[in-house]
Each structure stands twice: as structure tokens, then as C-alpha cells.
Structure 1
């Protein structure tokens, strides 16, 4: 008796210990009937010990999970009698809670199953936190992947479509699209990227960011109000009424739209649709906001790069045009800074003096060791006016040089120097002067010829009369004949002077040297006789 009493005492003590343990303890038969539960188990389901004893432990498990639960514990054997699992239970208030159980099958000496002894704990809060952590990790992964796309992307359209794809695939969302705010009269929202289950959802959606009936969608309001807008339950959201039917057909139950904002101005929106209602947590919304901010800055950075490339192309085109103009002016030109260093030269200077950019002008062009004495660059800069000089050097060519002050964008004053080769011009001017002198001489010759021609004609006529008289009187007619010949020669000279004045081409004809010498001696006969020359 004493031993039995001791055993009962120990059993009662053991029972008291189990009763006060903060874990769920339950014993039940193979058919599921409860044979023992502790106080914690009773409190968990808000029932008395008497109400639970004899009832099935499956009664607190959702019907859809009861068969699964029996299948789990039925596989226990004497060799593998212990197993743990997690399953949902129905709380007294009707909510679903989660429990983790360790089940131990009890067998007799013959291996027959006689009962189950189970210990469990409520893990609803753990599950909730785990779900939050999973969502955070998913959102962080989504954020990370999207940022990689933004950082490494080069094309705006490609980036936007990839962002939508990652949001749907990594974020487990139903559909995502990006729309830009139009600046037209209707303030329309134009879809520029999309991914997911769309099935023509965006066709004829008629979304606007104006404050009208069709401007109350999350996307329209997000752009207009420049803040995130959430439709927790599309089915009951009155603002979503114009698009509710299309959304429900595609399984969209909730929606969030986040503005693409740059410098406090929304230029578009990212719209995300989920297959569950009210799924966007505070933490998730915060990460999505950071994502859209990064995306907006990424878009603007790409546009800025495009603007820079466009500006650079324009500058290159304008520079090439200027280069062509500078090379086509037909005169040498170079740009010099205050230290006489050549910073630019056109092709004419390069062809005449070689490539001189980066070199000292008075050394590379003028072959001097110090600034040229005739240089007016500093004077031009100091007086802020164009200076000009004419000089010659080295190859004895003549140059007209212009010094023009030039201010760079950094306020540094430089000089544009234009060198005009006037060697040929000077030659032409000298030739023009000589031609002018010849023209004046021709005019003088014409006047003299005219004045001589008349009297010489009279002399010839008189000489011819004398020749006839001498012939009649039988005298010597040599002298009057010579007068006629010389008069005719003078006439020819006059005629030649007139021809010179009229700028006629010279004409050549055969002549006998003896005739020329005879005539010459006759002209100088009297003079050489006086000088005693025989």
C-alpha cells in the first residue's frame, strides 16, 4: 500500500508540474480523443478540462487540414516514434493561429499503438514576424535588383521595362507599369513600361492626372498630389470604380501607385497590382518609395547624359562648322594666349609654318627668341581694340597682320591673329602703278604725235616741190629728196607713237641690215663729219 500511495503521490506531483508548465500538453488516443490536457492548453482554447476530455483534438484544426494532420501522425512507428510539425488552429475568437507540436507515439510491448503524447507552443507571433522578415527580405532584394538595373542601365526604356519585370517576378506581384504625366490639355498619363499579367488592361484605360472622374485612380492621384496612393481593396474602393471590372477580371485585388519625383515635381508614377487585398505594409511602402526616388533620379541622370551627349554633338558640329569657316577664309589665323602660346591655328597657318599648337608664336612662326618688335598683341589687349600692321620676314613675303582681343568664357583675354599674305597684292599694286604710268606716257605720246604729224606733213610736201623744181632747173635734188625721206621716217615714228598710245600689238617684218646702216649713216653724216670721223 505504501508503494502504491507513493506512486500516486509522485503522479500527482508530476501532474501539478505539467499543469503549470507554460507549454501546451495534450494526450490523445489513436482515434483522436483527448485523454489529458494541461491548464495552458485549456486557456489557449478557452475551454474547461471537462469540456476537452473525450473530444477530438482535430476539432480545433481547420477541416481542410485535419486529414493532413492524421496522415502526419499515422506514419510514426516504434522505431521512429517522434515527429514535429506546424499547423494552424482555430482560436476561440475565430482567428487562425499557428502552433508547433512535437508528437510522441506510445506503443505497448507488442508494438501496438496505444496513445499519443504531444507538447506544443503557440507560434503565431513568430509566424507573423517571420512573414514580416520574409517580406522585408523580398522587398530588400527587390530594391537591390532594381538599383542594379538603374546603376548599370544605359537606355531609359530598357531600364523601365526591366524594373517592372523585377518588381513582378521578385516581388511576387500580379502586374506593374510605369506611366509618364503628359503635358497635354487632358493631362493624360502615358504608359511607357509594363510587365506581368496585363491582358490588355492598359488599353483604353483613360487615366489622367487631372482632378476629374478619371483622375482619381492611384496613378493619377499620385502624380497630382505627389505622394503614394494605395487602394487596399479595389473591389470596395469608390475611386477605382471606372477600372474595377477590368482589374477584377485579371485578379488585381489591391494597388499602390508611387510618384516619380524629381526636384519636388512628379513627372510620372509606378503602379503595382497585387493578387491579395491590403498587402502593402508600412515597411514595404517605405522601400518602394526609396525605389521610386532612386528610379526617378536614375531617369533624370540618363536624360541629363542624353542632354550632355546632345550638347556635345552640337558643340562638335558647331566647332566643325567654325573650323571649316576658319579654314575657308583664305587667310592664316591663330589664337594666342597672354604667354604667346598658340592654342589654335587654321590649316593655312599649319600649311605655311607647320603645326604650332602649344608652341610659342614668335619662335615657331617668326623664328625669334623673344617677342617680335613689331608685335601689337599686348597693345591690342590693353586697349581692347583691333590693331593692324604690315611687315615682311623670313621668306621676304609681305604680310598684313591684324591683332584682335578675344575673351574666353573663363574671362581670360587672348588674341586672335590674322595673317594676310599681301605679297601678290603688292606686286599687283606696283604693276598697276607702272601700267598707269605707261598709260599716261601713251596719252602724252599721242598728243605729241598729233602735234608733230601736221607740220611734218607740210615739210614733206615742200621738199617734194623743191625736188620737182631742182629737177626742172637741172640742179642737185639729193638734199630735198633726203628731206622727203627723213620726213617720211618722222611720219613713221609718229605713227608708231600713235600705235603705242593705242596699245596695239607689235608687228614684225623682214629688213636688210645694209639699208638700216645706210639710213643711219645718212642721219649722222653731218655730225660725224664735224667730229672728223671718216
Structure 2
């Protein structure tokens, strides 16, 4: 019986003598396979059914395999494609990889090497599907969820925020959230957020916002600071919701307790009055959430309903509030309902006079679902980081495998071809064969040029110098090639670290150096670059500096077009637990610093 978990494969080849044996082999290997000799029929099948892997011929009557890949990826962007051909060239192989092909296999196909390639391709497909599913967990939350940098620049928003403010993702990401807050509240919000540190990493604040129609509304946000390994804040994660109705109730209660009792009875929050460690008033929402009757709630000390681990904290805060001492304006705690279930509540309270004596008026929101959402969000973030690392590892492995195949197969064939051409040339070595000898010389020159191109491709895919001699040697080699190509002088200094970094970390640092030099060539107008490897106090650093025109970081963050080069470098570093910094200003060059804790 076919194991559906192995993957669903679609094959397209106009040659029955290739299509039929390949179809039978994959079915016997346990895959669910659909085979087509027509590109149009294959595209219709892709629209009607879901597939994990696409195997396509390169040369077909209706459409080339590369054009077919492009059409297929438009239907399913998560699809993984492999090109199989008997008429391939280095140029078509590179074009196929640029289109998004996972691999490029020459005919006749060797069955023993096909299954490992398919297994790796399916692993990439399943990683892509899982990554999309984890992202959807965050997008489906009804709570307002966002992340932002220490300067207030938004880096992520979920659909709920877009709906609330009537904005698209691209209108919010890369811009500050402060324009949505009344100007007179800016200082308060900044002060609260900037008070977070490693010992006090979470704060809940209530503040006003400006709705799309200009109405002033209230929101409550729980802000959590995220730190790097040096305890520096790199980002904030925030979860919020609208509390305008509750704020209106608070204002109403201040004016007249009796007049607005109806609002309290129908409020969507728990409202209780506490005095002498007892509950003197409870609204219907309290009865519904806690499961106890009104008499049960008012006949026992309120501390009896608090989770054992939170009793002391809640009681101390209540007594301090009665004394007028400073306590958090809003804080969460747990209760145990009548059925023994643990629920999370968030409390905001004010000091009042109840029947002539001090008491507290308490507003409590059930945040159990939000706590679960935060936990899911945290788990999803960790999963996404793991998936990102794994995808990077798979990509590097495939690059190395492709480089080996270019060397072991095409490289050896070209070498033999060169030897044969030289032998033919020596056998024809007389003036009567001058025209033939000229053609052979042209062929040998073209052969040498092709060899050089293949060596360049292999070096870009995976420089063997890194594996053999270390990161510093790889950086020096690539810098020399870069200088020859661009005319920009590059100086590489430093020494290899006492203990070599893990292979994946060396690869990531090398890729970052590649991306940085590419950006310098495109944008900096620099004529000199320095690359330095050094170790300081157990921190290994890669520092890349140019003498170019620099740029305005604020302008880059506020740009509507994401700067994927910088984003990719930052994510690569964060994926291995490192720290990424860019120091620049307009007219004064740019310095990029990567730090990895030893």
C-alpha cells in the first residue's frame, strides 16, 4: 500500500520510453504518482490536486521545462521542482536553478541516485508547508499582535491589527506605531516601554489610540522585551485588545454608582468590590467565569479563589492599594474556578469609598485565551527559527552536492574532452589540415573558458577553501575575486580562531560577507573595504567596513520596499544566536558587525 506520507509526485515528459519506466519505478518505491506527456494536462492536474514534487523534462513541444516550472510555482509557490533532461548545458542548469528548481538531473537517470534526491526535495517541501502552517497560527488570532524595534519601527503585525486600523501590512511594517497614539500620550507610552530590562521584561499599559474614523479609543497592551545573549533588547513583542467599553464604565462609575449599575451588570468584564478581604459586590460576569454563586463568592475571603502560587502577590497588592502605596496599574494572576480549572485574569483597580469606608473597585478580564495565544506565538517563533536554520542547512547541502556533481561529472568529462582534442591536434599536425587545426584551437579555447565558468560556479556554490583551510582563507580568496571583478580594494586581516567554528556558522559568516560585498558594489560607491576576523573576551567578531557614501538608517526602515539583503543577513545571524549591527550615517561609510558568543 502506498504511504501517503512519502509524498505526491507529478511527472511530465513527452517521451513515453522515459515517462513510463520512471512512473512505474516511483510507484514501486512507495510514492503516489501522476504522470503526463502533455504540459497542459499537467497544469490542469496541478490546479485540481495538491502535489509535493514536480519532475519535468526540459525540452517539450508545448512549453520548455523552465517555463513549466514558472507556471507551476504560480499555482503552488511551495511546490518543489526537479528538471530531468538529456540535452542539458551549464547555462540551462544555472537558469533552472535560478527559476527555483531544486535539482537538475541528466538522462539516462540512475535509479540509485534518484531516490536520495527526491527524499531531500520532499524534506524541503514539508518544511515549507510546516512553516506556512505555523505562521497561520499567529495570523488567526483575534488579539492584536505585533512586534517592533527599540526605536518603535514595526516589524510584524497580524491581520487583527490591520482590520482594527484599516491598514494593509505594508502600510504598517517599517513605520513607527506612534502616529496611532495621541501626541500628548507619546511620552507616557515611551517611558513605560523603555523601563523594561532583563529583570523586568514584561509590562502591561493602557493608552489611547486614534481609530481610522478619528475617534479616540482605549487599548491595553502587554509588552514583552526580547533580548540577545548579551541581555540587550533587540525587539518587543506585544499583545493587545480594545478596552474602550471598560474605560467608559470606569468613567461612568466615578460619576454615579447607582446610575450606571446596569452597565456593570451587563459588562463583558468581571467587576467586583473588595473590602476587608471580602467581596462586597460581584457582577454576573464574575459568577459566570468563576462558576460560584453570588452567595459563595461573597461569603468567603477572596483570597480563597486565587491560585496558591499567586495568593501572596494578590493580597499584598490589595493591601498596598488600600494604603495608597504604588503598585502595578495592571497585572495578571490565576484563579481556580469551581470545577478546579485554572484561569488567567488581568486586574485593574481603583480606590473607592464603599458604604463610608475604603474599598477597591476591581475590573478583571479573562485573558486565558490570550495566555494560550502567547504560548502558541512563542512556540511558533521557536519553530520558525528552527525551520529557518534547517532550510539554510538543506540549501547549503544542495549547493555542495551540486558543486561536487559539477566537479565529478561535468568537470571530468571536460578534462577528457580536452585531452582528446589535443591528441587529435597532434595527429593532424601539418599544414594541409590548417583549417581543422584552427577549429580545434577554437574548441580548446572554448573548453578552457567553460572550465573557468564551472570553477567559478562551484566556488560560488561552496568554496572548498573554507572546508580545507578555514573561514579566513575563504574570505581572502573571495575578496581577491571580488576586487578583480569590481576594482574595489579589499583588505582582509585577522587570524583564524583558536578553535574552528561549527561548519554551519562558518558558512553563514561567509554568506554574510558575500552579501555585504555585493551591497557595497551596488550602492556604496566605495573604493576600499576592510574585512576583519577577531576574538574579544570570548566573542568572535566579523567586521566589514567600507569608505563609501553610507546611508540614513531611518530612511531605510521607513522605506516601503523591504531591504531583503539586510533582512536576510540579520535573520542568518539571529538563527545561530548571534548579534547583528550596522553602523552608518550618510556620507561617512558603513560598518557591519557580527558577533558570535564562543
Larger Rg: 1
TM-score by length of 2: 0.27
TM-score by length of 1: 0.30
